[in-house]
Amino acid sequence: MKNRLLACAVSALFVSPAFAGEDIDQLKNLGQGEFLSLSKDLGAAFSYKAIVPAEPMGIMGFDVGVEVTATQMENSDVWKKASSANDSSSVLYLPKLHAHKGLPFGIDVGASYSALPSTDISLMGAEIRYAILDGTFATPALAIRGTYSNLSGIDELNFSTKGIELSISKGFIMFTPYGGMGKVWVNSDPKGDAKDIAGLTSESFSENKLFAGISMSLLLVNFTVEADKTGDNTSYSAKVSLGF
């Protein structure tokens, strides 16, 4: 399953896969426990993923690209109940546009935007990263990152995440492996047109996060793949970008 998810994420950069995810407009069908399960799946899928090594870019550095993330949904039966389209897929594919820019003093910023095909759902994310260690020829880079994401386009749900991460990376010729850990805080509020959905209350919780990836640079083109474990959910991402 892991190899399949990664292969799907990579191939989705070059072909048009069948994207999972229909409008979540049947939350009234869920019990509180099911709503929490759905929120955990969404938190893993929609929380911000940087997909970039820890080393600072420098004031002239930038990276702009496209990516796809494939997340294994641990509660696909709940996803089906929450969607009017009865989508029973166990994998959620999320295409994104992503940009990073280097600033002075070891600070980098980043932003991402995603829209789920065939739906009104969109996702915006942002990060700020500070390099504790810049990294040298012999030593790794170490960085701390704060993240935020906000989901829109779902009438019955207000959903956002915040996160903090510590990452490390070390370049070798054209390859830069990296990894890290962190925590994600999820806020999932079942409201439709500012009205409470009968029987459901908001859920706020945190999940531990582990991630690892590798970036390969060929002149100005960068290829990056990353594996992410947030709570019980596994995600695989692939990105192609231009930058230096």
Question: Measuring CA to CA, how many Å separate 69 from each of 91, 95, 134, 200?
Answer: 10, 7, 28, 29
Tell me how far apart the alpha carbons of residues 52 and 226 are, in angstroms, rounded to a whole number: 9
Give the rounded percent of residues in the chain with a pLDDT score beyond 90: 68
pTM: 0.88
Q: Which domain holds residue 8?
A: 2-243
DSSP letter at 184? E
Instruction: Give the chain's residues under pLDDT 50.
Output: 5-6, 8-9, 11-21, 194
Angle among Cα 155, 187, 41 to the nearest 5 degrees reads: 80
pLDDT for res 25: 77
CA dist 90 → 30, 31, 41, 159 (Å)? 18, 20, 10, 20
Burial string for 13-42 (b: 16+ CB within 10 Å, else e) reads: beeebebbbbbbbbbeebeeebbbbbbbbb
β-strand pairing of 203-218 with 175-189 = antiparallel
pLDDT at 97: 97
The confidence score (pLDDT) of residue 64 equals 97
Residue 7's domain is classified under what CATH number?
2.40.128
Give the pLDDT confidence score for residue 162 in this predicted structure: 98
How far, in Å, CA of 85 to CA of 56, rounded?
Answer: 44
SS3 state of residue 140: coil
What's the total number of domains in the chain? 1
